[in-house]
Structure 1
């Protein structure tokens, strides 16, 4: 019995403090989005002018804003709206990119050329500029913000999806499936799309954090969600007036945005390495 136990392969589990911290941060913000009352008892909308612009302390660990509202509570409650913007914008962006990328890769030369020219035209505008134009034309608001960020980030994803589909399309097992008599739609459905889309799971992870950063940038310019919403970008916009006398109004929401985006990036990179077989247990 002991000999059989000794014969079992040893599985080495490497402790990764960065990855562990990233997962903990993402879990914290997910809890904040789902059940913020578990993380704070403060009302994020309660005004108390007597406590206005108080520095971080034991009573208010993130300080208070110009209306005396607890900033930690506002950051916690703002996670729901910010994460919703990130998820919705990424879903829209990936949907647009999927249609453009797959149509270009699987279509004829004329279709591929036309879609590529359209993608290059969108690439001529930086993401922020394209989003700014969209918000300026259609007006600020939650829906407009989501659509602006989704449309602005779609070209990059479309080019990646096109390249991935073309790579799988030219692989040996796809050619073998065609040689065995499988119809082209069946080859696309069973071989090309599943294998082309699997690595793109990482893009979705990275895209959520990126979308939150872009949306916060637009909100900082006053083109986001209207106050008194505690959405992270709106907090940055509201605090910039007081940046010289209350640094915490910019630093604390900014840390939330940066830490969440970096945590998602770290998790996405780890998943990518695992899919590519670059990590050992």
Structure 2
């Protein structure tokens, strides 16, 4: 019991704050109706563009819809895009990065040059190109952001595999005559994949930011869907005299991204300390 309390005291306050914020948005994504104060799609022109108040905590939009409820409702779509894009990105990066690191030779050279070329292109440019060609849906947005962020992850995973591949315990296993596949399965992959958990948490926030950027440019989920980027896009025409339409969804994106970044860095530090 005392040891558990000692561990709790060593956790920084920012981590508790990040867990609280992420937990709120996860609850909003899973059961938004429990947290909403109004119907997020109900139009009431008599309440159009009202500033934040007791009746409407974050104000209303041009159609009189409650902005707080729309942000809560949009958490599901935004988090789905972030998680889906991150899962796709890390899956592709895992396959290509591990292949390049393990096989080596010509395969490694070709894949490494491909990573470098794609990594040199801005992520938003790759995502814009994909969405422009295949249209604007939730699925294409997930694929676009996933493909755009995959090259950077692939380079990191390749480097991690190469570092573990040359470690002393791997050389010792080879000297003892262990089969290569067994060495890969029991030594290289488990140790090379340690940073993936932290990378995934960092990637979710990054993916939501990229997806919101696409939606802000009009290449995201179509209105009246309350996805955070779509809310930003809809509010930019009213930013001068209805600042809350732009500030509040933007804060949701920034606060969530910062929170998952704090958790990702803390988790990475813990895993690095254990290793």
Q: Same fold (TM over 0.5)?
A: yes
Report the CA distance shift for 1:99/1:15 in structure 2 as closer, same or farther (over 3 A): closer
Aligned: 1:263 with 2:259? yes
Aligned: 1:177 with 2:180? no
Cα deviation digits, residues 163-202 of structure 1 (max 9, x gap): 0001110001111112222111111111100110012210
Cα deviation digits, residues 91-134 of structure 1 (max 9, x gap): 00001111111111011310000001111121231001111111
Which of 240, 264, 275 aligns to 1:244? It is 240
SS of the aligned residue for 2:273 comes to coil
CA distance in 1, matches of 2:158, 2:137: 32
State the partner residue of 2:90: 94
The answer to which of 190-199 and 205-214 deviates more is 190-199
Q: Which runs of 5+ in 1 are unaligned?
A: 1-5
Aligned: 1:29 with 2:21? no
CA distance in 2, matches of 1:27, 1:108: 42
Deviation at 1:9, TM superposition (A): 11
CA distance in 1, matches of 2:132, 2:255: 29
Aligned: 1:200 with 2:196? yes
Cα deviation digits, residues 247-278 of structure 1 (max 9, x gap): 00010000000000000001111111111228
CA distance in 2, matches of 1:186, 1:215: 40
Report the CA distance shift for 1:220/1:180 in structure 2 as closer, same or farther (over 3 A): same
CA distance in 2, matches of 1:179, 1:238: 63
State the partner residue of 2:160: 164
Deviation at 1:37, TM superposition (A): 1.5
CA distance in 2, matches of 1:64, 1:152: 34
State the partner residue of 1:145: 141
Q: Which runs of 5+ in 2 are unaligned?
A: none
Q: Which has the larger radius of gyration?
A: 1
Cα deviation digits, residues 221-246 of structure 1 (max 9, x gap): 00000000010001001111111111
State the partner residue of 1:228: 224
Deviation at 1:14, TM superposition (A): 2.7
State the partner residue of 1:132: 128
Cα deviation digits, residues 37-73 of structure 1 (max 9, x gap): 1212311100001101000000001000000000000
CA distance in 1, matches of 2:205, 2:199: 10
State the partner residue of 1:62: 58
Deviation at 1:10, TM superposition (A): 9.1
State the partner residue of 1:3: none
CA distance in 1, matches of 2:159, 2:133: 32
Deviation at 1:16, TM superposition (A): 2.3
Normalised by the size of structure 2, how large is the TM-score? Answer: 0.96
SS of the aligned residue for 1:277 comes to helix
Runs of 4+ in structure 1 deviating by more than 4 angstroms, as ranges, are: none
SS of the aligned residue for 2:214 comes to helix
Normalised by the size of structure 1, how large is the TM-score? Answer: 0.94
State the partner residue of 1:108: 104
Report the CA distance shift for 1:109/1:15 in structure 2 as closer, same or farther (over 3 A): closer
CA distance in 2, matches of 1:86, 1:149: 9
Report the CA distance shift for 1:236/1:183 in structure 2 as closer, same or farther (over 3 A): same
